[in-house]
Amino acid sequence: MHPMLNIAVRAARNAGDIIQRATDNIGQLHINRKGQYDFVSEIDFKAEQEIIKTIRQAYPDHAFLAEESGEHQGNDYVWVIDPLDGTTNFLHGFPQYAVSIALKVKGKLEIGVIYDPTRNDLYTAERGSGAMLNNRRIRVSNQTKLDSALLGTGFPFKSDEYLDAYLALFKPLCIATSGIRRAGAAALDLAYVACGRLDGFWEIGLKEWDMAAGILLIKEAGGVVTDFSFNDSYLESGNVLTGSPKMHQLMYKTIEPYIDEKIKRQSGGVT
């Protein structure tokens, strides 16, 4: 295992331990609102601090982009951190949340780790070396028919700005597929695409820390990731469409007539 991947795994497991220890006392946690439907708990902060501390002990000059504390300046190595993706699920005792850690080197994703502490599932990826789940190699699904596919998605719940645009995409995919799941933790949704539990996934308005690790997992597992204009500006726009090469093609063909022009411009598809 690459030394930096080993450190990322250690940091993710340390954060997962903090999260799981807190599950017995959720009702006593201090909780704030970042937005109308966006919550943050003291555990988010503690888990993030633990991740940064663990990585800094090994790499004191590295930079960070973290959900709760923002940017920490450093060199060309940037750790992208979501300490608890699925905070609302966690606060309700709904066991669908994860730690997500990615490393970018000069702008390129090099390492990705997603840790599900409720199942002790560890997803890891290194650029050019494949993706793993609990040390077993994983691949995206081989599903080739949309009417047999199970897709994942996420609602644009933080703002109603893109709700109509999202619903316009949801309807044709809902009609065309065998099922759609919205579990509320994008990092795990992307990990599930990487290991074939989901055949595809799409969402509008994600943040870089929500998807950086998951995107590398999918690519290293043989999948395709684009925005809604078939470009690669998903980290900037927050709009993502992903699956196996065949499933991605089928999903894009299905939704293309319904993609809002504003979303296309956001993804760099309209000038």
The CATH number given to whatever domain includes residue 171 is: 3.40.190.80
pTM metric for this prediction: 0.93
Specify if 271 maps to a domain.
Answer: no
Residue 90 phi, psi (nearest 5): -55, -45
Percent of the chain residues topping a pLDDT of 70:
91
Residue 136 phi, psi (nearest 5): -115, 135
- SS3 call for 34: strand
Query: How many domains, in total, are found in the chain?
Result: 2
Q: What is the pLDDT of residue 268?
A: 61
Is 80 exceeded by the pLDDT of residue 138? yes
What does the pLDDT look like over 58-109, one tens digit per residue? 999 999 999 888 888 889 999 999 999 999 899 889 999 999 999 999 999 9
The answer to whether residues 188 and 226 touch, using CB atoms and an 8 Å cutoff, is no
Rg (CA), the chain: 18
> Is residue 202 located within the same domain as residue 101?
no
> Is residue 42 located within the same domain as residue 122?
yes
Mean pLDDT within 145-170: 89
How far is CA 54 from each of CA 31, 57, 62, 66, rounded to the nearest angstrom? 25, 5, 12, 14
Is 90 exceeded by the pLDDT of residue 125? yes
CA distance linking residue 79 with residue 28, whole number of Å:
31
Range of the domain at 39: 3-137
Label residue 99 exposed, middle or buried (CB < 10 Å: 0-12, 13-18, 19+). Answer: buried
